[in-house]
């Protein structure tokens, strides 16, 4: 009976560690998750679906250099990067694509 308790404890400990690793990976991509050298590649993907590629790349790279983050996908998901999301123009419009 004691060995069953040990196996159960080990199983739940392993499950706990695995869930913590999953939580860490799900938070990946947040602010500060990129290096400056990774910005051009992330922005190339972010701007791949727009017809205004040149200005998109310019502002995306500018935002990435400051925030070290680019939201996933080609549109939206700005909540993943608060710095990227909250940087506004003088008119109050979003600066980052």
Question: What's the predicted TM-score (pTM) here?
Answer: 0.67
58 with 47: CB under 8 angstroms? no
Phi, psi of 47 (to 5 degrees): -95, 10
Domain residue ranges in the chain: 1-30, 31-97
CA distance 68 to 30: 9
What are the pLDDT digits (tens) for 19-65? 554 444 344 456 678 999 999 999 999 999 999 999 999 999 999 99
- The model's confidence at residue 12, banded by pLDDT at 50, 70 and 90, is low
CA distance 79 to 31: 10
DSSP assignments along 46-71, one per residue: HTTT-S-HHHHHHHHHHHHHHHS---
Q: What is the mean pLDDT of the chain?
A: 81
């Amino acid at each position: 009976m004691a060995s069953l308790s040990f196996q159960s404890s080990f199983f739940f400990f392993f499950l706990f560690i695995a869930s913590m690793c999953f939580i860490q990976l799900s938070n990946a991509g947040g602010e500060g998750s990129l290096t400056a050298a990774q910005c051009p590649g992330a922005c190339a993907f972010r701007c791949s679906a727009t017809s205004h590629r040149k200005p998109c790349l310019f502002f995306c790279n500018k935002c990435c250099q400051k925030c070290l983050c680019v939201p996933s996908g080609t549109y939206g998901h700005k909540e993943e990067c608060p710095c990227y999301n909250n940087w506004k123009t003088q008119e109050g419009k979003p600066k980052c694509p």
